[in-house]
Structure 1
């Protein structure tokens, strides 16, 4: 037995010596691990790869995790395992210490588990030395980096950490989320708004959303029932109402589901803890509310641009009926693609970047509620472009209207034709609507710019030396006005298109208007005849009426050259 143990020990020592003699240091050729802090490695590595090319292929599989940024030390940890440091003074490769492995495992394993992947066996932390000493040399790592000083926004990027939440107002109401690398607010925490303001905003939102939904639904239904679709501008106007109806339905889904069900989500690290939704894809209700509000709200803005453009085209060059029909058919596909495709592309970009988040005031999921960059890129800029294009079309059309001379009707038209309604009435109504629609849209855009400009200052923790009253807070009326302006757009377009449609529908239901009955003659004996005498040889007989009025009928065969004097038998004279 002793002989066998001795042979095993000798074999292990000989194998280690042979391995040490075979391993030689060589320059690092893996692009991912260059400039990592050392430039020499030796094969085989800690994962038993004998070539750097094999190690490079394995490291490429971790590229999405490195780009995700779950840990600032993940890059060093992977290179120390697959491309370990080599020196001529140490026979064995120098890999990571157990503390470095556990730090990376704590931050990155939830991410891998969320995507359905397991932690690789060759990265098991128990395989690495517990500490760096003269017996087992290993790399401990620089530690997790803190976020840059002065960064106070909730979207800290990939360099965030727990220290970032201490720079926010009321730091006890925030928690650092490793998966999204940002500070998330507790669902019921009162950071910028108190309970009374939340309740008032929710009642205000539900009231105006219900009114907008009912008005737009009735207007679209009346328009479809009448069947008179009109020109391109009128059809685009109906689509604006339809989009506003769908957006109001999104507010209704939020009100029906409740704040917690629509705007909050469970924390991945603590299932019993509820956080304000910062990744809306984790909550189906949140995702549905976002799609209804963002997609159809932006589509309504694009269709309003189409309305303004159609009105400008009708003002500048009024086409003939055949020309208008051919032009509408030719541009209809392009308009449909622009109006539905652009909002769809932006909504897909939001879903891919997982920027759907909830608002603290109303608990409504949108984009940019917690990220200033997303608010600027995905909300302010698209709405500003739509508003600018629409205003350009409106200004061009109004300038053409002011410069156009007033039409003078021909005398034959005035004498022979019956009075016709003004042919430009629908065009004027369309232009008036496009101009009025721009006013609430500009106000909504101003509220978003206000939030973007001051959000970081609202969320920044106050300076200890300053008084608490000096810390700026958002104006509550601005956000209430945003809700009102958003919903009043739907009410306005509904009233605008429903008025003529409801009139036409009422005429169709009621039928043709009945003629009033003729007045009957008063009962009694027939009036006595009235005899008139004149200087001519002709005699005329008129019928006497009760109020001494007579109807004069000139003779058919005689022409009078001068006025004649007629006398009643009672002595009255008629000229």
Structure 2
């Protein structure tokens, strides 16, 4: 029953609507008449009537003028959505149907007029609607039942967008009032030649940045044990960030990747990604460039802060960065991640044909300022603050304590001050470039857009004028365009920052690392000995002093090589000495044996070895020539200790290397092996070799002539020819007298 009432209600409404409808045919006013048509078409559409009326359009009084005006209006083909609805409207005004027999004319429909207002808003913005085409005029009738041009005439509604606009049905891509057209993918503010120029610029400096950052990354990797230390390691992560960011820039040069990255399938520029339903290449490139750019600048702050703590703690035994490095990673990787996720969530990733990448806020200055300029500006302030503190610390150190630091350390401090000063200036310059270019863009962007709009209007008028006058000499140009040089400088700021970060590894220490690496690869000997510092030996032994209770303490010094930055230096000139004096060798056993000094005494053992113990051993060895073979045989025969013959993996860069084995010496010999064997008596064997294939140049002093303590110190002789023959004798030694070490001693 309810459904019946609803049906009756809508039927009644329809009847009322039909009865209130107006017949569009009205009698001609006095003094007017129908005019015979010279053509049977309007805007290319065929009509069935033969007479028309010229009283509605007051800008034309003849059919020739009507034809000319309609040709001018045909310029709206460049606005496809407008062209679809305005054709029947214009024809109903300029060429209405007129019944010459009945003396009646078909008035235009007001609904038809109002239908053109939104799609054809470009008309109102350019010159405005003529008064006779305003929907409030009396010749537009409401509620026409039917109209000839709407019901009986078929128009070609296909529009054509004028370059640089392209046809698209995606409403988000429409250019302002030109519905149905969007801006082409290639930025019309720049010429094709300028696009090629910028792409070449990116290819050159992007490749150079990749090469430089990759060199730094590999320099760290080939000498990882030396380079794996903060704050130098922070530059490793910064270079990784700029390397991956540069990969994102260079992705556009892979085939037709640039078109896929910055363009939609309909030929318009990408806007508001993700969410357009296109491929993910734009978002992937955005993440590569934006995330690693932000990570790099946050790591820059961590680097400046780490340098500040490190240089402030120079001359002190504490580790200034202890328990802080994990926070460096949390901040440097999570903050950029949050910014990247927010940019993607608000769909503010846009393509840019000039740079060939997708970035945040290409068409929205507010997002560009909030997600790019604000973080970089904050980084600049904080980073430069810590860099200034670092420079102040180093300058004060060099100026106030010249008598307490060595000449070598003083020279390195001066070098570091210069390098940090240049680095600070470069960092400030690159950020200043970024802000300057964005300020230039923000202040001039509106004038560029206005110039582009006038260019589009000019192109539309020229198209119509060429059609009317049949001429091809008219051209249009933009009066105000951005400078391509400013954009190139802005792009260089990214690659320049990456190159400057890589330049920290352009040091002699890096070259030496590569030299050692290639010598290992090609099995070439090196003539540069490793120089050991005694304070490092003591520190390393003290660090593992508790292990002596297990019966053996084995210490391997990875290297004394500098890190790739070349910023290791000791302030104390005495600590910088590279050899052990005879006094140090004499005092070394007492230092190691001192109760609780180097290692804790064995539980339940209170006896200390007296001078008689030492003298007993010394008297037995004093009568013998203390050559290398006599020391080895005496120690093996008279002490409750057996010669340990170990073999360690051969590595590069001063790492743990092979030592004497039953088969001789395994080249290349580098580093040192400090082994302590504790039983009824202790013995320390310090064996050091130059890192080379042969034993032709020993670096440590000769063994002492007399044994003064309960330790036998064995060192390589400077006469390596003699030593090689002695090592050959070791091979022939009765293996039954030599005890193999346990597996854990290796």
In the superposition, the TM-score normalised over structure 2's length comes to: 0.42
Which residue of 1 is the match for residue 210 of structure 2? 213
Distance 1:283 1:463 in 2: 30
Distance 1:463 1:262 in 2: 26
Cα separation, partners in 2 of 1:321 and 1:423, compared to 1, 3 Å: farther
The match for 1:127 is: none
How far apart are residue 253 of structure 1 and its match? 0.9
Q: Measure, in 2, the Cα distance between the counterparts of 1:257 and 1:409.
A: 63
Deviation per residue, 1:381-419 (Å, 9 max, x gap): 111111121122223333444445331326xx98xxx97
1:194 maps to 2:188: no
**Is 1:328 equivalent to 2:322 in the alignment?**
yes
Match of 1:373 in 2: 366
CA distance in 1, matches of 2:480, 2:228: 51
Partner of 1:456: 446
Equivalent of residue 291 in structure 1, options 263, 287, 292: 287
| Alignment match, 1:116 | none
**Residues 228-267 of structure 1 mapped to structure 2, 5 A cutoff:** 228-229=226-227, 231-258=229-256, 259-266=258-265
Among candidates 493, 508, 522, match of residue 501 of structure 2:
493
Residues 351 and 362 of structure 2 are in contact (CA less than 8 Å); yes or no, is this contact kept in structure 1?
Answer: yes
Shift of 1:496: 2.0
> How is 1:175-574 mapped onto 2 (pairs within 5 angstroms)?
177-179=170-172, 185-189=182-186, 191-227=188-224, 228-229=226-227, 231-258=229-256, 259-266=258-265, 273-281=266-274, 282-318=278-314, 320-324=316-320, 327-329=321-323, 331-404=324-397, 405-409=399-403, 422=411, 424=413, 428=417, 429=419, 432-461=422-451, 471-499=479-507, 500-507=509-516, 509-510=518-519, 511-513=525-527
Closer, same or farther: CA 145–349 of 1 in aligned 2, 3 Å: farther
Q: Deviations over 1:275-305 (max 9, x none)?
A: 1111333332211111111010111111111
Partners of 1:407 and 1:14 in 2: CA distance: 100
CA offset digits 1:64-108 (Å, max 9, x no partner): xxxxxxxxxxxxxxxxxxxxxxxxxxxxxxxxxxxxxxx9xxxxx
Contact 2:248 2:289 in 1 (8 A): yes
Q: 1:193 to 1:279 in 2, by over 3 A?
A: same
Cα deviation code 1:177-224 (max 9, x no counterpart)? 435787585445552001100111111111111111122112101111
Greater relative contact order, per chain length (Cα 8 Å cut-off, separation 6+): 1
Higher gyration radius (CA): 2
Q: Residue 333 and residue 222 in structure 1: after superposition, are their counterparts in 2 closer, same or farther (change >3 A)?
A: same
Query: In structure 2, the residue corresponding to 1:358 is in which secondary structure?
Result: strand
Contact 2:173 2:268 in 1 (8 A): no
CA-CA distance at 1:306 after TM superposition? 1.3
CA distance in 2 between counterparts of 1:508 and 1:12 reads 94
Secondary structure in 1 matching 2:264: strand
RMSD of aligned residue pairs (Cα, Å): 4.4
- Cα distance in 2 for partners of 1:512, 1:189 equals 57
Aligned-residue offset at 1:170 = 7.8
Q: How many residues align?
A: 361
Q: 1:280 to 1:255 in 2, by over 3 A?
A: farther
After TM superposition, give the deviation of residue 422 of structure 1 in Å. Answer: 5.0
For 2:168 and 2:450, how far apart are their aligned partners in 1? 15
- When residues 358 and 464 of structure 1 are mapped into structure 2, their CA distance, relative to the original with a 3 A threshold, is closer
1:319/1:13 Cα in 2 relative to 1: closer, same or farther (>3 Å)? same
The whole-number CA distance in structure 2 between the counterparts of 1:14 and 1:297 is 65
2:560: which partner in 1? none
1:65-144 correspondence to structure 2 within 5 Å: none
Conserved? CA contact 1:192–1:473, under 8 Å? yes
Give the distance between the partners of 2:343 and 2:234, measured in 1 at CA.
26
1:321–1:190 Cα change, 3 Å: same
- Contact kept, 8 Å, 2:394 with 2:413, in 1: the verdict is no
**Are the equivalent residues in 1 in contact too, given 2:248–2:288 (CA < 8 A)?**
yes
Whether the 8 Å contact between 1:295 and 1:344 is mirrored in structure 2 is yes
Change in Cα spacing, 1:355 to 1:190, as seen in structure 2 (3 Å) is closer
Deviations 1:17-52 (A, max 9, x none): 9xx9xxxxxxxxxxxxxxxxxxxxxxxxxxxxxxxx
Calculate the TM-score normalised by the size of structure 1.
Answer: 0.54
CA distance in 1, matches of 2:416, 2:381: 21
Q: Once the 2 structures are TM-superposed, how far is the Cα of residue 175 of structure 1 from its aligned partner?
A: 6.4
Q: For the residues of structure 1 that align with 2:421 and 2:273, how far apart are their CA atoms?
A: 39
Alpha-carbon distance in structure 2 between the residues aligned to 1:392 and 1:477: 31
Q: Which runs of 5+ in 2 are unaligned?
A: 13-80, 82-108, 126-161, 459-475, 520-524, 530-746
